[in-house]
Structure 1
Amino acid sequence: MFTHLLFLATSLGTVSAARELWFNQPAWDWASQALPIGNGKHAASFFGGINNDSWALNSDSLWTGGPFQLKNYTGGNPAESRVPALRGIQDFIFKNGTGSIAGILGSDAGYGSYSVLGNLSVGLDLDAATASSYKLWLDIDRGVGGSSFVTEKYGKITRDYFCSFPAQACIYHLESTKPLPTVTVSLGSTRSPAPTITTASNTITLRGLAESPDGMLYDARAAIVFPGTAQKGKDFTTSTGLSVPATAGVKELWIVLSMDTNYDETKGNPSDGYTFQGIDPAKKVAGNVAAAASKSYNALLAEHIKDHQALYRAFSLTLPDPLGSASKATDELMKAYTLDKGDPYLESLLFDFGRYLLIGSSRPNSLPPNLQGKWSNGFGAAWSGDYHTNINLQMNVWGSEATGLGGTLDGLWRYMTETWVPRGSETASLLYGATEGWVVHNEINTFGHTGLKGNGDQSTALWFAYSAANAWMMQHVWDHYDFTGDKDWYKSVGYPLIKGVAQFHLSTLLEDKYYNDGTLVVNPCNSPEQPPSTFGCAIDQQQISEVFMNVLKGWDASGDKDLAFKKRVEDALSKLYTGIRVGRYGQIQEWKLDIDNPEDGHRHLSHLYGWYPGYSISSVHRENTTITKAVETTLIHRGLGKWTDANAGWEKVWRGACWAGLNNSTMSYYELRFAIVENFANNLYSVYSKDPSTIGTWVFQIDANFGTVGQVLHMFVHDLDVGYGQSGEKTVVLAPAVPEAWWGSKIEGHRLRGGGEVSFEVSGEGKVKSVVLKSRKSSAPKLKFVDATGKELEVKRS
């Protein structure tokens, strides 16, 4: 069976050099050392101990709270209309500029949290002290992790781990060059209430409720499988798990594991009582296990790698390796990494790891990746492991379309359609008096918590009062159509979402009664996580303008015949305050009021949304030097992303992407290095409070892992969206912010707006060469490719 790697190389074509995270010792700390595998619905973090090996297990929908725990769960919505209170708030803010919105803040009762299911443990009856040549690894090119070591008595013992999307199961493969020692297998959990664990026919079943007295039902099953027929008919079941004695003479076995819950997102609507309650998952889980167990290990592995590489290898970025880092353990690379000098190999590994994590946490049948992707080790997660929609969920999908991973996002579109729209329509009416459309706010669970949180406390308004969250998410809906050109999807899925958001904002925008300038503004609003509550927050205005422009740009593709709606959008767009105004310090104002503080190094770059990742500044005003200078000034004021408010990775890579938009490779690359030094652990997880003295309490938050993909892509390619009415040949800039350390790099398969993909190299002298445009339809908008100096590039078409 050690020939299976050669078998796969032959069957799947030429296999590129492995892209591995690896270590010479087992992991003990989950947030900084454990390594992840996943298939969207299933996720596992492995530690790779020698005689005691374990996985932390996650099923993507397992949450506490919601209607399972609170039968009168309302998604944060009030029992009756808050519109009278809202009108008073709006009048006060227009009169005074700022005000309190406590009167419309709602409840977080039953909000709940994403939660670990339990753990799979595999024991080997051997003395760990006799082991040598230990290696713990994760091959992100094949989507397979594992561990191995050598003992004199049992030879080389190798364990391979993966979660297969085709099989809808996770596989733990154990093999040795000599007969294995006694192997024990168990499923367990310290949840309360305690789950029921049963064993029969070489299978362990773990079932329980997420919380007491009522809670979501979960079911996990693990079956042990052997090659050939030597063990056929033998039962290794014990009262507590499975045990294969050394006397069995087994050299190879594997464990098939599947899990699920009775959560059903199609039941989160009024007609189903917002119950989200589906059927018992037992039959489905048992079927997954049985189907996978009926296949050979080679077959399971081959179909998994083929599926994974179809996504992973759709795009590639190759950076130079001047330090020979490919031959070094990942923790050694992290230890040697400094702010003064980067390591291109490690930086490219981090980039590819971000793509790997998206493949592992976002698939068509899964929920979208949350604050921890799908990997969590607690019964309650930091920030509930939820969906923060003022940068975090959005950053999770940065770079997905450009790297060929847009097809992994079907679960995101379904989640918004099934979970946000029904309850969000209710929120729109009860809180804002909107007669059409839907809205969500900043913190959202799997149960449609679309209302405001805060429990009536004005001091919490800055965290939750963000009614343009729906507009930001529509950027990614539009992008999916813009990159794919899939009109059927746009008509049936994308456009209905965008139209509903446009309708909400058409119903709620107000004419500015503070400046009386005839513009339409949002009132009230909070620039994400910043006081005060005011009107005309830049981010809201920029995002709504893009929603309106996208409605009009995609009108013909939408199939919509409602010309009155189109006229309303056109009229509103013509009067909308754009959210782009240069203030007294030469900055882009964060609010329509010129109240920015140049000493404010806050983590969010909300007022630069339209620069990156949006286009309402970067494309519409790209030739306006006053605006671009104001963007630069704003970045200088905001600082490097480590201030009194926070020290997060996501804030640094967002800054890095914005600097890349200014063609500033020095600052963009510095921000990336700063993030790596401050916020990435040895397992390349993005963490908070990376203090060696507090290891074991670090908080993993996945957004910077995904955000790194977006930043690095923006350093290599500017393929900006365009504003409504902008026409003519479109310019794509190649290598606008590639630092000297990355000269000698190559990018292949970068998808483009309007279809097609571009590949090119950056020479050792920093020149763009070998530009190839592939699969671009003649009917697509015409493109001109230039380098950072504006020089037009020669392009080969294929």
Structure 2
Amino acid sequence: MKTILMLTFCLALSSFGDTAPRNYELWEPQAAPNNGRSKWESTKSSKRPKSYDHDWERWSYPIGNGYTGVSIFGRTDTERIQLTDKTLHNRGIYGKGGLTSFAEVLLDFNQQKVSNYRRSLNLNEAIAHVSYMHKKVSFKREYFASYPDNIVVIRLTADKKGSLSFTVRPEIPYLAMKQRTGSITAVDNLLTLKGTMPLFSCNYEGQIKVLNEGGSVSANAKDGTIKVSEADSVTLLIATGTNYRISAKTFRNASAKKLDPKQFPHEQVSARIQLAQDMGYAALKENHFKDYQNLFGRVSVNLNSKPSVDPTHILLQKYQKGKTNTWLEELMFQYGRYLLISSSREKSLPANLQGVWSQDYYTPWSGGFWHNINVQMNYWGSMSTNLGECFQAYTNFYKAYLPIARGHAADYVRKYNPKQLTKGGDNGWIIGTGANAYYIPSAGGHSGPGTGGFTAKLLVDYYKFTQDKKYLEEVAYPAMLSLSKFYSKVLIPHGNKLLVEPSASPEQTSSAEQVKGMPGHLKGGRNYITAGCTFDQGFVWESYSDTLSLANELGNKDPFLDTIREQITKLDPILVGADGQIKEYREENHYSDIGQPRHRHISHLCPLYPGTLINSKPEWMQAASKTLDLRGDRTTGWALAHRMNSRARLGEGDKAHEAYKRFIRERTATNLWALHPPFQIDGSLGTMAGVAEMLLQSHDNSIRVLPALPKVWKTGHFDGLVARGNFVVSAKWQEGKASLISIQSRSGGVCRVNYPGIAKATIADSNGNAVEVTREGTDQIHFSSTLGETYLIKQIQQ
């Protein structure tokens, strides 16, 4: 997979941006409170577990490098540094694996009375800071998690020599629950935590190296601690690892055989620690910053905002009380980009339901990869916000689980339409909802097999945004062709229609009275199972359409494409009901005849966003808008993000902004994490995508600039967002009207731009030469672009 070309866009140096750098940070004048966690008790609930810690969820600051997540509290009596490793799972709440906390690292300072305290998380550099005065000494700390060196670094300094004295005291959490073994050793300046999760034969190890300048360190082998005495400065290096290997075997094998019990991570963890020690703090920090800024610094935005001087919790409180501040909206967008970079990198597992952070024994909903919207939402904005590399983690995950997904497809066809089974041949692939690092489910239950098409849309979009031909040939097109073969085998004739059967609209529940006399049935007394739900029919259509599109780009003539061309005309995927709504179920007449009227999922609108089908007819778009009105915005965090993106796709900028405002006011914690509740990362990443969708769209083969601009963002600019076709777009606007548009072509090809009055604008290349364009009415133009060239559009007359 080729590396996406680096950009020169920088938050401080944008040609359209501010003259001074915009510094994005979360900050507080106090350490995170310490109220303790709830006592753990056995529970089957998938909501907040009994190990719930309000202060962790609401006040800690997250850093991460894709592999390891770190939550920082900034305390001066005993600092708490909580670690999560994505690969360390216990049995989880469903018995199939679930993320669990890796370790706690406590730093006992015993500094009770401090002054001039400040802690912050700087998004421009991905470094957390703590500073304060104690007994006339100024203390400072820096924390970062480096992806290139896969190491967590903590630097402690004081402005008076010999002032740093503290104890490093690690803990292995939840040992009393007896799902893991563990021990801690302290030798010289090294602390080692290691043990086994017997269920999966998962061997884990963490190392903490204490490097002092001045003073001394001493290990206490008895209690597994290291004491630092009268040092000038100290650097802590932390590395975690397990014997987890991502492969089909890991998903397929029985629990105890998923991993090799004879493999231990000791050598690779030790090597990383030693290399980091050899490099030194300055080089580690430089490596980290260059790597991070290469991603984060590509995009800048100004949403008619002025930076606030308020602490983050005050900024949020004011917003919640109705004092809308577009600075917070802008900060939340960049925070989403920060969280995605921190939780999903090329060689790591993908961002899960909690990104890469969990302090729980049983992480809510197992902390897995939920394929009926949540994992997709994590990546909706990865390409448009210029973070395409972050999606490579999911591509690698897909490649690993594909053999299992193929087996699931064959089993599914055998069970529901055995006459269509191709013995020993390609029956396609399918994935269900609740996947994790050790388990891949098949379709079914409370979500229909549209989960496969929902997932595959990400693979298609990665190609469309990057124009990576190798990816098209090796990943995107084979995935779509095979998935389409699966769908062709599970469509059942209903008169002249072909319908997915069984079919379900994800997680929607109904009463027995609602479905009395209906052709379907309730499963588990709640979920209505029927034929041809819009969610499933829509994603069959999306998958068929995408397969044909990609085949055309490759010039592929596979005979199976004729089957797709014939079947796509019989899907009848979108139906409008008596109330002007998009039907969720074919047999409904009025809105919510079946199901909950205010349900969090809007699965029947997925063909609007992230799909494209509903956009093809104005009457369907009108029905989608009506459906959103009926569904309402009183819902969970991530569900507001989907509503925000859907409104943006409809061009309803003010309504998209209303969903965003409600998300911030009602579903945002004081550390700006998104709350379902409890904490889930998808809301943060979904609203990040929503901001981008309001500013730039490209789903209909044209670049639409400011397609859903709300009145409150009347003046501003954005630099570095990406449109399909691999075009990098920047724009500046005043009083709601674009005054300047810049487009960089990273792959060449035809560039089509849509904006009111653009046909009368002037278009020039980077040398000032006029560009020959074809005008399509008053609002659309297209021209042939050259790879690497930048085009400037100005004097736009609306």
Give yes or no for TM over 0.5. yes
Counterpart position of 1:300 = 284
**Paired residue for 1:152?**
135
Partner of 1:445: 436
Could you tell me how far apart the structure 2 residues matched to 1:498 and 1:392 are? 21
CA contact (8 A) 2:251 2:438 kept: no
Cα distance between partner residues in 2 of 1:183 and 1:406: 42
Which protein is richer in strand relative to its size? 2
2:332 equivalent in structure 1: 350
Partner secondary structure for residue 577 of structure 2: coil
Instruction: Give the corresponding residue for 1:545.
Output: 541
Residues 109 and 768 of structure 1: CA distance in aligned 2, closer, same or farther (over 3 Å): closer
Structure 1 position 267, deviation (Å): 4.8
The corresponding residue for 1:399 is: 381
1:522 alignment partner in structure 2: 500
Residues 138, 794 of structure 1: alpha-carbon distance in 2 compared, 3 angstrom cutoff: farther
Q: Find the counterpart in structure 2 of residue 205 from structure 1.
A: 192
SS of equivalent residue, structure 1 residue 704: helix
Give the alignment partner of residue 24 of structure 2, picking from 14, 19, 41: 19
* 1:318 to 2:305 alignment: no
Please state how far the C-alpha of 1:595 moved relative to its aligned partner: 4.0
Corresponding residue number in structure 1 for 2:77: 51
1-structure distance, mates of 2:251, 2:375: 26
In structure 1, the gaps of 5 or more residues are 1-8, 67-107, 454-460, 690-698, 723-729
1:369-518 to structure 2, matched below 5 A, reads: 369-419=351-401, 421-433=402-414, 434-435=421-422, 436-451=427-442, 461-462=445-446, 465-512=447-494, 516=495, 518=496
Residues 20 and 213 of structure 1, relative CA distance in 2, 3 Å threshold: closer
Q: Which residue of 1 aligns with 2:562?
A: 567
Deviations 1:402-442 (A, max 9, x none): 111111121211112212x2222222222332541121212
The answer to whether structure 1 residue 222 and structure 2 residue 227 are counterparts is no
Alpha-carbon distance, 1:401 to partner: 0.3
Q: Go from structure 1 to structure 2 and tell me whether the alpha carbon gap of 1:245 and 1:553 turns closer, same or farther (over 3 Å shift).
A: closer
- The answer for the alignment partner of 1:80 in structure 2 is none
**What is the letter of the counterpart of residue 555 of structure 1?**
A
User: 2:753 corresponds to which residue?
Assistant: 784
Partner of 1:196: 183
Does the CA-based 8 Å contact 1:144-1:160 persist in structure 2?
yes
Report Cα offsets for 1:89-114 as digits up to 9, x if no partner: xxxxxxxxxxxxxxxxxxx9731211
Task: Trace 1:357-372 onto structure 2 (pairs within 5 A).
Answer: 357-372=339-354
Aligned AA (1:662): L
| Alignment match of 2:722 (pick from 747, 751, 759) | 751
Letter in 2 for 1:197: I
Deviations 1:764-791 (A, max 9, x none): x11111111112544x23312304x887
Q: Which residue in 1 is equivalent to 2:794?
A: none
Residue identity matched to 1:422: P
Q: For 1:262, which of 240, 243, 247 is the aligned residue?
A: 243
Give the residue type in structure 1 aligned to 2:720.
Answer: G
Deviation at 1:795, TM superposition (A): 4.6
Q: 1:349-398 deviations in whole A, cap 9, x for unaligned? A: 11111100000000111111111001011011111111111111111011
Contact (CA 8 Å) 1:785, 1:792: kept in 2 or not?
Answer: no
1:159-193 deviation line (CA, Å, top 9, x unaligned):
11110011111001111101224221122123224
- 8 A contact 2:477–2:551 mirrored in 1: no
* Structure 1 stretch displaced more, 373-382 or 564-573: 564-573
The residue type paired with residue 243 of structure 2 is N
Asked if the contact 2:149/2:284 (under 8 Å) is kept, the reply is yes
Look up the SS of the partner of 2:740 in the other structure: strand
Tell me the amino acid that sits aligned with residue 221 of structure 1: Q
Q: Deviations over 1:669-710 (max 9, x none)?
A: 111111111100110011145xxxxxxxxx211111000111
Q: What's the counterpart of residue 170 of structure 2?
A: 187
Q: Deviations over 1:245-270 (max 9, x none)?
A: 43xx4221111111111111125279
1:569-594, Cα deviation, whole Å (9 max, x unpaired): 222223323x2111111111112223
Q: C-alpha offsets along residues 700-751 of structure 1, whole Å, 9 cap, x if unaligned? A: 111110001111111111211x4xxxxxxx4432222222222221100111
Contact map agreement 2:248 2:403 (CA 8 A) in 1: no
Counterpart in the other structure of 2:112: 128
Q: Root-mean-square deviation (CA), in Å?
A: 2.4
In the alignment, is the contact (CA less than 8 A) between 1:784 and 1:792 conserved in 2? Answer: no
Contact 1:59/1:260 (<8 A) preserved: yes
> 2:164 touches 2:232 (CA, 8 Å); kept in 1?
no
Q: How far apart are the structure 2 equivalents of 1:772 and 1:758? A: 6
Tell me the CA shift for residue 638 of structure 1.
0.6
User: Could you say what secondary structure the match of 1:554 adopts?
Assistant: helix
Moved more, 270-279 or 410-419: 270-279
CA–CA separation in structure 2 for the residues paired with 1:662 and 1:402: 17
Q: 235-244 or 500-509, which moves further after superposition?
A: 235-244
Shift of 1:792: 6.5
Specify every segment of 5 or more residues in structure 2 that has no aligned partner in the other structure, as ranges: 1-10, 13-18, 34-54, 415-420, 509-526, 766-789, 791-798
CA distance 1:652–1:214, change in 2 (3 Å): closer
Describe how 1:648-663 pairs up with structure 2 within 5 A.
648-663=636-651
Q: Which has the higher mean CA deviation after the structures are superposed, 733-742 or 529-538?
A: 733-742
Query: What CA deviation, in whole Å up to 9, does each residue of 1:312-371 have, x standing for no partner?
Result: 01111122335x51x111011011113644210011111111100000000111111111
Partner of 2:694: 715
Q: Counterpart of 1:633 in structure 2: which amino acid?
A: K
Tell me by how many angstroms 1:658 deviates: 1.6
**C-alpha distance after superposition, 1:450-509 (max 9, x if no partner):** 1368xxxxxxx43xx321211111111000100111111222222232222112111211
Matches within 5 A, 1:218-297: 218-227=204-213, 236-239=218-221, 240-246=223-229, 249-268=230-249, 275-278=257-260, 279-297=263-281
Q: Describe the SS at the equivalent of 1:163.
A: strand
Deviation at 1:53, TM superposition (A): 0.7
Distance 2:507 2:676 in 1: 18
Separation in 2 of the partners of 1:181 and 1:500? 61
3-state SS of 2:334 partner = helix
Paired with 2:692 and 2:217, the residues of 1 have a C-alpha distance of 53
For residues 176-223 of structure 1, give each alpha carbon's deviation from its aligned partner in whole angstroms, at most 9, with x where no partner exists. 10122422112212322451111223111101223x576522111110
SS across alignment from 2:99: coil
Choose which of 128, 147, 152 in structure 2 pairs with 1:170: 152
Q: Which residue of 1 aligns with 2:769?
A: none
Q: What is the DSSP-based 3-state SS (H/G/I as helix, E as strand, rest coil) of the residue aligned with 1:532?
A: strand
- Equivalent in the alignment of 2:772: none
**Deviating runs (4+, > 6 A) in structure 1?**
269-274, 789-792
Report whether the alignment pairs 1:138 with 2:121. Answer: yes
Query: Per the alignment, in what secondary structure is the counterpart of residue 750 of structure 2?
Result: coil
1:639 corresponds in structure 2 to: 632
Q: Across the two proteins, how many residue pairs are aligned to each other? A: 689
Written as runs of structure 1 = structure 2, the 5 A alignment for 1:620-635 is: 620-621=616-617, 624=618, 626-635=619-628
AA at the equivalent of 2:191:
I
Q: Which of the pair has the greater relative contact order for Cα pairs under 8 Å at 6+ separation?
A: 1
Shift of residue 271 of structure 1?
8.9
Q: Residues 332, 482 of structure 1: CA spacing in aligned structure 2 closer, same or farther, 3 A cutoff?
A: same
- 2:101–2:173 Cα contact (<8 Å) kept: no
Give, as a single letter, the amino acid of the residue that structure 1 aligns with 2:741: V
